[in-house]
Amino acid sequence: MKKSRSIFQLALLLVLITGSGVDAFCQLRTRVISPEVSADNKITFRIFAPEAKNIKLYGEWITDFTKIETLQRNDTGLFQITIGPVPPEIYGYNFILDGVSILDPANPLVRRDGQRNASLVLVPGKESALYGAENVPHGNLTKAWYDSPTLGMQRRMYIYTPPGYEKGDMTYPVLYLLHGGGGDEDAWTTMGRAPYILDNLIAQGLAKPMLVVMPNGNAYQPAGPGDTPAAATTRPADFASYRGKYEESLVKDIIPYVENNYRVIKNKDARAIAGLSMGGGHTTTTTNNNPDLFSYIGVFSAGARNVDDDYRAKLKAIKDNKVKLYYVACGVDDRLAYQGSLTLVEELKKLGMPYKFRESGGGHTWANWRIYLSEMASMLFK
């Protein structure tokens, strides 16, 4: 939005701020382009910073931290670097300007990951087409507030409805999709790109039209930062007392809200649940305690830690309730969850559960979670 400032005032402001009016004014006039993705999947990053000593670049394409690169400065104070080629993907990145992690000032695309922000760049290609805003019918996405008597507050979640939901009287199945630690209800939309993944799968006939419900898994929090009192964004002192409460609210508050307010099919075979990392734990707790609620269960990059007789009995009850798919997925480099995933799969195998184990490359990353979602979504409600 335009403020009540002229270009002259802006230039004056920059003179005052930087003490280098000419350079600053030139930056205004010749806008820096960053990031710039070339046809061969190289990315050029630029930042105009005449007074900076040193600018480095950290991005999610880096797996070897010794390979962090430094931008080159030209004589006007423009710093630049070209990296790649890199695989088609959506990457978060930051500049490190004299030791401080900053966003790319020329890039409006920002992704919040819990308490941190990163600039975003999308390298188009086959892999990223999965979650790009392609020219296909788009479903709507609603930030919905619901009452949670279990947690004693109004809380927020996202609900994706498939293209065409608004018209007609069809009823749909529902996937409950849970985020991981450090995230909130935004995560599966912003980093997970779940709405676009579903749009693209549905358009290609690879997934059935379904609703996707993405709640906030931090039981002490009404909603993510900015839509909640500041105090609620950090863990409260009595954090431990919330243990198991979110899973309880999912069953007692969230599913009833969805089934009473949306045109959905209200039975087990039309309900799926999946979560990543902490959300994988929420998933196993919820399904272990409610073996008759979901016919499709997905545990991404989580697995199981301490499998005792009680845990085994609960898994058996899930099988006895005729679950249709128990999907477990993990990257082989995921030190947080790979062993737990193997443990869980071993139990499923012994029980004769209808399971699928998806071992992928890579680690505990959104690149993997987007792939797991797309694979599991294509197996649901069929």
State which of positions 334-353 bind a second copy (CB under 8 A).
Answer: 334-336
The DSSP output letter for 240 is G
Q: Could you tell me the smallest distance in angstroms from the CB atom of residue 162 to a second copy?
A: 11
Site for a second copy in 205-244 (CB under 8 A): 222-223, 225-230, 233
Cα 187 from Cα 216, distance rounded (Å): 9
Q: Is 12 in the site for a second copy (CB under 8 A)?
A: yes
- Look up residue 263 and give its two tokens: 């045109």
For strand 325-331 and strand 89-97, is the pairing parallel, antiparallel, or unpaired? unpaired
Cα 195 from Cα 143, distance rounded (Å): 13
Please select the residue that binds a second copy; options are 84, 163, 209, 354, rule is CB under 8 A. 163
Q: Output 132 or 173, the one with its CB closest to a second copy.
A: 132
Query: Among all chains, which residue has been given the structure tokens 């999709």?
Result: 177
Q: How many residues bind a second copy (CB under 8 A)?
A: 92
Q: Is 268 in the site for a second copy (CB under 8 A)?
A: no
Q: Which stretch binds a second copy (CB under 8 A): 58-66, 235-243, 312-320, 346-354?
A: 58-66
Q: Are the C-beta atoms of residues 79 and 71 closer than 8 Å to each other?
A: yes
Q: Is 306 in the site for a second copy (CB under 8 A)?
A: no
Q: Is 105 in the site for a second copy (CB under 8 A)?
A: yes
Q: Output 222 or 354, the one with its CB closest to a second copy.
A: 222
3-class secondary-structure state, position 258? helix
- 370 burial class (0-12, 13-18, 19+ CB within 10 angstroms)? buried
Query: Among all chains, which residue has been given the structure tokens 């430094």?
Result: 70
- Look up residue 91 and give its two tokens: 């990457």
Please select the residue that binds a second copy; options are 150, 200, 365, 374, rule is CB under 8 A. 365
The DSSP output letter for 319 is H
Please select the residue that binds a second copy; options are 75, 108, 205, 352, rule is CB under 8 A. 108
Nearest to 158 by CA among 185, 140, 196, 192: 185
Q: Is 139 in the site for a second copy (CB under 8 A)?
A: yes
Name, in order, each residue with C-beta under 8 angstroms of 66's C-beta and a sequence gap of 6 or more.
none
Q: Is 115 in the site for a second copy (CB under 8 A)?
A: yes
Site for a second copy in 62-101 (CB under 8 A): 65-66, 68, 96-101
Q: Could you tell me the smallest distance in angstroms from the CB atom of residue 113 to a second copy?
A: 6
Q: Output 133 or 206, the one with its CB closest to a second copy.
A: 133
Please select the residue that binds a second copy; options are 26, 103, 251, 265, rule is CB under 8 A. 103
Q: Are the C-beta atoms of residues 79 and 70 closer than 8 Å to each other?
A: no
The 274-303 contact track toward a second copy, x by CB under 8 A, reads --xx--------------------------
Site for a second copy in 24-53 (CB under 8 A): 24, 47-53
Q: Are the C-beta atoms of residues 236 and 345 closer than 8 Å to each other?
A: no
Site for a second copy in 170-209 (CB under 8 A): 179-183, 187, 191
Nearest to 146 by CA among 132, 136, 158: 158
